Amino acid sequence: MIKNHFSAGKKLGSNTYGEKASMPLSLMNRGQREALEELGHDILIKKYIGNAEKYYITQQDQTPMIADSYFYLAELAEWKLDPIEEDHELEWIPISEAQELLHHEHQAWAVDQAFEPK
């Protein structure tokens, strides 16, 4: 499982992120919290992959944004509770298909980094 466990969008020229980014949690703790909320599972962080930013314009209102993301390779662990966020569903897919389904290029970069041959 690769988890983009912390990605905060902020408006260009702004010094503030969304609510989640302002919480006093470490990046790894944020990833674990996100996994619980979205999947209902604990995760075991195995490896730090890297940090990447993506600059983009929102389709909704043409606002320039920065997605500042930290990527980790994690292992799905014990089921703890029903997911809090009901609009998320875990689906296992081949790595080769993952990049086509990702929303931003920096997410595809993280998959490349996580699974590149050594």
Token duo for residue 96: 């080769």
Global pTM reads 0.67
Token duo for residue 7: 């990605």
Mean pLDDT estimate for the chain: 76
User: Mean per-residue pLDDT for 87-110?
Assistant: 83
Token duo for residue 46: 């195995």
For 52-77, what is each residue's pLDDT tens digit?
888 888 888 999 988 888 888 899 89
Task: In whole angstroms, give the CA distance from residue 112 to residue 110.
Answer: 5
For 32-51, what is each residue's pLDDT tens digit?
888 888 888 899 988 889 89
Domains, in order of start, for the chain: 2-115 (3.90.79.10)
Tell which residue, 51, 47, 93, has the closest CA to residue 70.
51
Q: What pLDDT score does 104 carry? A: 82
